[in-house]
Chains A and B, each alone.
Chain A
């Protein structure tokens, strides 16, 4: 069974996720960020299910392991579609919704196919291996796609502060996880720090989104700084 601190961080994280939905509803941006809110709602439901299985069967039980990794894959897919929705919003002026939809589905299918290619020779637990692999690969696809979206925001001179903040926090969130993962692999002796840190990082995204929805008005505008050019 995880320690009190781990359970406390988990509870805090779930409360932040609920806060995102409440803030989105209260500030009237739920429809605009529907997929983000649905992702947060799914996270809350998954947290409850994981807690139920954890208390019922135990931390090292195969039931908890299966529920954890299968639900993680599901949440990663939700997050991926939420990201696609952000793309559609940023590229709305180009009337590229159809292309974004097509690219989203194609990339998801290609990632699934690639993941299957990696695990298809495994003789046991093929589906479970596939689910974990897909989740991993989709996570890295999400990371790259978020960085590209950052670039698109700068290039297109997107001014909607709320949208910018949502995308930036998503990029920071992905980057923090990748840094934590790299740290864990480079310095195995730091596992005792990096694994609990992973839980704390998990709270960042719901906290950042809740803050954005609550404090930044929908019509707030920010002008991204121009790149400095040196005259010759």
Chain B
């Protein structure tokens, strides 16, 4: 049970870290999004 709680805690920690990193990287964002899959040319994002 306690190991499962540790896993939950670590997962939440990862999520917090990832969202903090996103905030830092996208601080001056112009609304463009980061796309990391394949070599297809990225279209504009009308809903951002």
Contacts and interface: CB of A to CB of B under 8 A. Distances in A.
A81 to B, nearest CB: 14
Contacts of A60: 43-44
Interface string A172-184: 0110011001101
A75 B11 contact: no
Contacts of B19: 114, 137, 140
A140 B21 contact: yes
Contact of A102 (B4, B26, B41, B48): B4
A206 to B, nearest CB: 9
Contacts of B25: 140, 178, 181-182, 185
Contacts of A72: 35, 37
- Looking at chain A's contact residues, is the secondary structure mostly helix, strand, loop, or mixed? helix
Contacts of B37: 43, 46, 71-72, 75-76, 79, 202
Interface residues of B, number: 37
Interface centre among B3, B25, B40, B46 (most CB of A within 10 A): B40
A222 interface: no
Contact of A202 (B12, B39, B44, B47): B39
Contact of B39 (A12, A79, A148, A188): A12
Interface stretch (A24-32, A124-132, A157-165, A208-216): A124-132
A99 interface: yes
Interface of A: 2, 6, 9-14, 17, 43, 46-47, 50-51, 54, 59-60, 62, 64-65, 68-69, 71-72, 75-76, 79, 99, 102-103, 106-107, 110-111, 114, 124-125, 128-129, 132, 135-137, 139-141, 143-145, 148, 173-174, 177-178, 181-182, 184-186, 188, 195, 198-200, 202-203
Interface of B: 3-4, 7-8, 10-12, 14-15, 17-19, 21-22, 25-30, 32-48
Given A11-B39, A79-B36, A185-B26, 13 more contacts: A9-B39, A10-B41, A12-B39, A46-B40, A50-B38, A60-B43, A65-B44, A107-B15, A114-B15, A124-B47, A140-B25, A173-B36, A185-B29
